[in-house]
Structure 1
Amino acid sequence: MKGLRALCLTGSLLLVAGSPVWASDDLTEEEIERINAVLGEMQCEMDDDDIEKEDDGFDLDDVLCAEGQFDIKLDTDFAVVEKRAE
């Protein structure tokens, strides 16, 4: 019985230790709304799943705009700091 308990505990710890930490990368609803507002002003749109939160702001992949498709970087104040055509 002790062996089984130790095996279960070890397995649980491995699952927790091996799992990626997503909490710090999670976007808030407010951040998603602000990003979509910025994109709306630029006549652009994108899938919310293509937003990546970074230390210095946000990386937006596959943004569809009236003039084409772009990758866009926003700073922490939601200002565009880079816009490159794909």
Structure 2
Amino acid sequence: MTRSALAALLAALCPVPASAQQDASRPETGRADIVRIMDVLAGIRCEIAPDDIEPTRSGYALHDVLCPDGRYEIVLDDSLQITDRRRQ
């Protein structure tokens, strides 16, 4: 059996964990995107740790956003417009 056939067989027989499947389909957040998101949040006097930025298929989910009046979950669309903001 050739290596490529063996690799294909192993890939078919070995399930991939759901977390790995999600990571493969999720877009990456680049440094420029993080800076732009931080600028948007600075405009509303909020801040976030880069690790709390989660890319989605339609934009970004921002977790644990710290604002002067509390902590929020914020959703941005792909043009970085706030589409949802919920206090935690």
User: TM-score, normalized by length of structure 1?
Assistant: 0.75
Aligned length: 78
Does 2:48 match 1:50? Answer: no
Q: Which letter maps to 2:82?
A: V
Structure 1: gaps (5+ residues)? none
Q: Which moved more, 1:24-33 or 1:71-80?
A: 24-33
User: Structure 1 vs Structure 2: percent identity of aligned residues?
Assistant: 32
Which residue of structure 1 lines up, in the alignment, with residue 38 of structure 2? 36
Moved over 4 A (4+): none
1:19-30 counterparts in 2 under 5 A? 20=20, 22=23, 24-30=26-32
Which residue of structure 1 lines up, in the alignment, with residue 66 of structure 2? 64
Let me know the Cα RMSD of the aligned residues: 2.3
Q: Is the 8 A contact 1:25 1:52 kept in 2?
A: no
SS in 1 for 2:63: strand
Structure of larger gyration radius: 1
Structure 2: gaps (5+ residues)? none
